[in-house]
Amino acid sequence: MAYTVKEIFYTLQGEGAQSGRAAVFCRFSGCNLWNGREEDRARAVCKFCDTDFVGIGPDGGRFADADALADVVDACWKGRSEDAAQKYVVCTGGEPLLQLDEAAITALHRRGFEVAVETNGTQEAPSSLDWVCVSPKAGAPLVQRSGNELKLVFPQEDAPPRAFESLKFDHFFLQPMDGPNLETNVNEATRYCMTHPRWRLSLQTHKLLGIR
C-alpha cells in the first residue's frame, strides 16, 4: 500500500505521558473528522484542530510501500543515537490510522523503532503498536476504547471527562484547548485535575518551547 505523509521531522514529544522524549514525528495526511479547509471548519465534526495535515509538505512525501516510508523515518533518526531502546516514532496526523497498517508498523519495528500512534479513536488500532494515545472528539464514534493514554482536549461540549473514566487506559490526561480561550481553559483544566486526581494536566510543551 502507498502512504501519503504531510511531514516527517525530529523533535521532542510535547504532550502526555511521553512528554520530553526525543521522537521522529510522522504526520500522515488527511483526517476523517475535518477536510482541513478553513471554509469547512464550522461544518466539521472536529472544529478546534490546530494542525495542518493537508497534502504533502516539504518534509513529507508519497511512499510506494512500507519499506520506503520506514527508510525515511529511519534516516530522520540517524546520527542521533544508535541505542535501539531509544528509537521512537510517533505516528500522528490528521488521522494516522486511516493509513498506518501492520506492514508499516512491521517495517518500523525492523528498523528498531518503538511505534506510537496518536489517534482520534474512530478507527481500531493495530495490536502490534507499542503505544496508543487516543484523543476522543465530541460527536465522533469512539471505536478504540483502550490503550496507554487517553488525552482529552478540554473543554469539549458533549465530551465531559467522566464519560471516559471507565475505559481501559493507563493514563488519563486533560489538555487545555488552544485558541483565544487558552488561559481560561488552562485554569479550568488545572482546577479539574486538582479536584479529580485521576486526571493529569497535559500542556503542549513544544509550543511553550517554540519547537516544532
Residue numbers at the binding site for ligand SF4 (CB under 6 A)? 31, 33-34, 46, 49, 51, 53, 93-95, 120, 137
Least distance CB 9 / ligand SF4 (angstroms): 17
Closest CA to 133 of 90, 190, 100, 89: 90
Cell of 183: 488561559
CA distance 94 to 82: 29
Specify the residue, 179 or 197, whose C-beta has the smaller distance to ligand SF4.
179
Question: What do you get for the CA distance between the two ends of the chain, in Å?
Answer: 28
**131-134 β-sheet, strand order:** 61-63, 3-12, 22-28, 88-92, 114-119, 131-134, 146-154, 168-176, 199-201
CA distance 41 to 184: 22
Specify the residue, 50 or 102, whose C-beta has the smaller distance to ligand SF4.
50
CA contacts within 13 A on the Cβ side of 151: 24
Specify the residue, 51 or 184, whose C-beta has the smaller distance to ligand SF4.
51
Least distance CB 6 / ligand SF4 (angstroms): 10
Specify the residue, 18 or 120, whose C-beta has the smaller distance to ligand SF4.
120
Q: Which residues are catalytic?
A: 25, 31, 46, 49-51, 118, 206
Closest CA to 28 of 51, 11, 5, 52: 5
Query: What does each C-alpha distance from 193 to 48, 95, 138 come to in angstroms?
Result: 22, 27, 20
Least distance CB 36 / ligand SF4 (angstroms): 7
Least distance CB 120 / ligand SF4 (angstroms): 4
Specify the residue, 107 or 132, whose C-beta has the smaller distance to ligand SF4.
132
Query: Is residue 179 within 8 Å of 157, Cβ to Cβ?
Result: no
